[in-house]
Amino acid sequence: MCIEKRTSNLNIEIRRVSADLLLPIRHSELWPDQPISFVKIPEDDLGIHYGLYVDGELVSVISAFIEGDSLRFRKFATLATWRGKGLGTRLLQRVIDLAQENKMKRIWCDARADALPFYQRFGFQSFGEPFFKGAIPYSKIEKVFM
């Protein structure tokens, strides 16, 4: 698999982490022009947070929230210097696995429009009307499990 070739010489680990550890990456990669408080989620204390580490360095983060029979993920970000190496793929797959392990009917998020092709590779489809957060276009996307 090409992901393995790009990262085969790296020590990669996905761990559950506290929400506080995720804030610097959420901030620098998603909303750097806002105060760091902008990337906090009121429900963070209820979330399941994962960090992907490369050789001990936290480089990618995602937060998952179980809402009834759905799992919503939020604040998915990878440091710019680590993008394109398949690390985000590994982290998203971990959250998809979490949804399936917990027998969720679907997994969903608000996705930036420029990231839609990435999510489509995993079988996510848009639903509802596109919208904006500030000047950034978004779509709601979901993957339904049968």
In a domain, 132, yes or no: no
Calpha distance 102→30 (Å, rounded): 28
4: pLDDT confidence band, cut at 50, 70 and 90? Answer: very low
Q: State yes or no: pLDDT of 65 exceeds 80.
A: yes
Residue numbers of the domain that contains 54: 2-109
Q: Give a yes or no: residue 38 inside a domain.
A: yes
pLDDT of residue 146: 78
Q: How far are the Cα atoms of 70, 109, 128, 146 from residue 104, in angstroms, in the given order?
A: 5, 14, 20, 10
Question: Closest Cα to residue 30, out of 95, 112, 87?
Answer: 112
Rounded distance between C-alpha atoms, residue 10 and residue 47, angstroms: 28
107 neighbors 92 (Cβ within 8 angstroms): no
pLDDT of residue 6: 53
Overall number of domains in the chain: 1
Q: Give me the pLDDT at residue 2, please.
A: 34
Question: Span 121-142, mean pLDDT?
Answer: 95
